[in-house]
A = this chain, B = another copy of it.
């Protein structure tokens, strides 16, 4: 039976540290603040927004909800982003994505200054992750996976890590973060012929392909730590499940994160960590 690596203790550990840091910032007259920018009323967006707001309240971060109608024009939306980005009291900006099709997502994201890009969606943040310069921030979910590994003292340096997936929000940046910590990383993807052959040799397996229960025991080995970043609707369970076939894999690996209650529960803490860090950076200027 694998060790079950839950997200809650990791999130709690981050939030406790943040609460202290926010108190220190308040002494300096700074209240860290995050603008959450949303277009329309997608239930997924609203659910994440609520989770973020709850976490923000817990650590003492202010939230500005910037909500716009589904039919806002691109020009008007970019103007709003310009206004939000200019606001000196706003340390971080999170744009709920994907945006409606009539809005150029790249143009919208590039309205955000690197130092406020707490979800790592700008080109500046991507270059920062690629080049390991500390400019901007990594995407929250990718960093949440790293926080899980750190909290549970999983060795990274000198180890083999296999990442299934190469998206810009998880697979690719997470591969970079692991390599910066001296793992030897392979990113598997849709054009990789025999994924289990590769992943079964890894010490750390990251499942970030976005397909329900597609990672089965043949992908793993008994000494492996499995981090499941998947969030899929599970018809049978009528709830959320991961990319890993948890019931089958749990009995054969060393450690595994559950879904829900795994990596997903750490994401909002990482978001707040970025907001607080953005506030610190600005206060130290």
Please report A residues at the B interface, Cβ cutoff 8 Å.
106, 123-124, 126-131, 133, 135, 157-158, 166, 168, 172, 176, 179, 182-189, 191-193, 198
Contacts and interface: CB of A to CB of B under 8 A. Distances in A.
Nearest to A124: B123
Contacts of A126: 126-127, 130-131
Given A187-B179, A189-B182, A168 B127 contact: no
A129 B176 CA distance: 13
B198 A191 contact: no
A188 B186 CA distance: 10
Contacts of A123: 123-124, 127-128, 131, 133, 135
A188 B184 contact: yes
B168 A131 contact: yes
Given A179-B187, A182-B189, 6 more contacts: A123-B133, A131-B168, A131-B172, A182-B191, A184-B191, A185-B186
A172 B133 CA distance: 14
A207 B129 CA distance: 24
Contacts of A192: 158, 184
Given A127-B130, A131-B126, A131-B168, A184 B186 contact: yes
A110 to B, nearest CB: 10
A252 to B, nearest CB: 23
Contacts of A184: 186-189, 191-193, 198
A177 to B, nearest CB: 13
A168 B128 CA distance: 12
Nearest to A129: B130
Nearest to A135: B123
Contact of A191 (B127, B130, B158): B158
A214 B183 CA distance: 21
B185 A187 contact: yes
A132 to B, nearest CB: 9
B158 A179 contact: no
9 contacts: A106-B133, A123-B124, A123-B127, A123-B131, A124-B127, A127-B130, A131-B168, A182-B189, A184-B193
A124 B126 CA distance: 9
